[in-house]
Structure 1
C-alpha cells in the first residue's frame, strides 16, 4: 500500500535503504527525473538510432523500410492476418512516410486546383475521387482559395456522400488568401484560426490532417505564425502543419522556433516539381530532409499539362491554358523557353516507348524516383486521365538508373531552375 507523503518522506512500507524504508510517490512511479536510478554491472552501449540503425548510415532508410515490413508481417501473423488484407497489396499502391511524422500517404495524391469545383462537374469529380480512393490513393489536397472555396465544398460533399472512414484518408488544405478583406489574407493568428475553421466547415470535417501555410507572410514575425499553427495542432483541428513555397531558411527558422519553445514544428513542404523545375526539391531542400526529417509533397508533375503534349500544336478548348487568368501559361507556352521544352519532350518520347509507357507516366515516375518525394499530386479532369497517371506507379518499379541517365542527358541539366508553374 502506498501512503501519502508527509514532509520529505513518503508514507507506507517498503524496503527503501537509507531512508527508514520510506519512499516518495514520484520515486515509486519513476516520476522524479532529477534522480538517476542506481545500476549494477558493466555499462551497456546502445546502438544509435531507432531499431539499432545509425542516423548517418546511408543505408538506414532502406533498412528501416525492411524493418518496418518485418514488424508488420510479425504483427499480422499474431493477428492471424496477412498482407493480403492491406490496401497496398490489393491495389499495388506504394505508400511512403511523410518525412519523419510516421504518417503513411500514397505516393500519388489528388490535387483540386482548377479542376474540382470549377473546371469539372461535381459528378465527374465524384467519379475521379472514387476511382482514386478505390485504387489506393489516400491523399487529397485542397486550399481555401481554390475556386473561391468551392473546391473544399465539393470535396466535403463527396466524402460525406461516399461515407469513407475518416481514418482511411488524408486531407491537406492551404491557408493564405480567403477573401477581399484585409483580415481574410495573410498568416495572422486571426486568419490562420478563422481560415482553418472556415475550411473545416466547407469540408464538413472535424479536422484536417495537414495544414499548409501557402507562402510566408513578410508582415509579421515568424514566431507568431509558428505559435498559431501549433495552437491548432494542440487543439486537434490539424494533425500536422507544414509550408508551401517557403525557402529552406524560412522552414529551418520555423523549426528552430518550434523546438525552442516546445511547439509543433513544420512537418512538410509542398512545392512544384517536374522535369523542367528541379532546383527547389533537388538543390535547396535536401539538407532539411536530413536535418529535420522534412517531408515533401510535390505538385504539377506534368507542368500544368505541358508534358502531356496537348499544347504542342495549339491550345485546346477547355484546357487549363485556355482559361481566364492563365494568360501567364499561354505566354510561357509560346515563349522561347516553352518551345525548347517542347523539343526536349519530343526527344523523351522514344524513352517512354522503350519503357512501354506514355510520356506523362514516365514524367510522374521520374518525380517519384526521388525517395524524398513523399507524394506527387495529380491534377486530372476525367477518370481516363487518372487511370493513365496511376499507371506511373508500376512504371516506377521499372525505372532503372540507365533510363534516368538518358532522361538527364536529354534534359541537359540536373538542377535546372525554372519559374514556378503555379500562379
Structure 2
C-alpha cells in the first residue's frame, strides 16, 4: 500500500507485538485492541526500575496494586474498593475462566450478550460451561441488555452472566439501572455475574461509568469484577489483571481458586499496574482526548465511506462499523484487507450479530487513521 508519510510509522513497524507482526508491512493494522501511543512515563519508569534492580522473579503477592487501584477507582468512578478485596492473576481472560470454574458446574449455561468480544465464546467452554447467547437489543436510541431474555435463560438454568462493561465492540456503557435489574434477576436464581470491566479506564469524558459492584448491595453479593491496566494504559503483554469481590459469597468463590492462579501474575505487570493506577491519570486523560479527537475525525469522514454507518461509542478506542449497505458482503473486513490493505477486526467473529460489520481501532495517530479511511473509502466506493 503506497501511503503519504505517517509520523512514527517506521518506528511502529519495529514493534514485535501481534498488532505489528500479524500482517505484511504494506498493511495498516487497525484490528487488534492495542494502541500505538508511547507508555505513560510513570509506567515505563516503574518497569525499567524493576529490571534495573534485577527484580524479575516470581510475583509473591498483590504488592500495592490493591491500594493504588482503590485510589484510582475512587477518583475515576467514585467506587470505594477495599484493597484487601483485590487479587491478581495474569489477564482478564484468566479471571473469567478461573472464576467460572469455581462458580459453575460442568455443562452449566453461561449467558453472553453478542455481538461481543470473540474469546468469550471460547473461555466459557474452557471453564467447562456452555455458551448461552442473549443478544443485545438494538433500538433507535442504541443498544441495551435484553433483560427479559436474560431472565428467561436464568429460569431455564443458566448459572452465570458474563457481562462486558463497557461493552466490546460497541463501546456501550451499561446504565446503572439496567445493571441493578440484572443483579436482582441473577440473585433471584442463585447465579453469578462476572463483569469484564477492562475498558473502564477508557470511558469518554461525557459518559458516566458505574462499576457493577458499585450498583447495589445485591450486585456486590452476586458479582465479581475483572479489571486491568492493560487496555487503558496499553499493557496487554504485561500480564497483570485484578479480581475484585465484595461479599462473603464471592470472596469464598475466589478462595477456592488454586494458588497458582495468582502466582502466575507477572511481577513486571504488577509494577506497571501499581504505577498506572497511582500516577497515570494525566497520561490517561491526554490519551482520551486523542481518542475522542480521532472519533470526531471518523465521524466527519463517514460520508466518504459510502454506506458505512455507526453508533458512536461512549468508551474505548474501538468503532463498530456497519458495512451492510456497502455491498462488501458478510465479512467486509476481508474485502478491506484484500483491496485496501487495512486490517480491521472481522465482524462475524463477534457472533452472528456481527455479520456485515467490522471493528476499527482508532488508538493511533490521526494521520494514520486518515490514510486508513482513505483506503476504506476507495474499497467501499468501488464495490
TM-score range, shorter chain: 0.3 to 0.5
Larger Rg: 1 or 2? 1
TM-score w.r.t. the length of structure 2 is: 0.32
Higher relative contact order (CA 8 A, sep 6+): 2
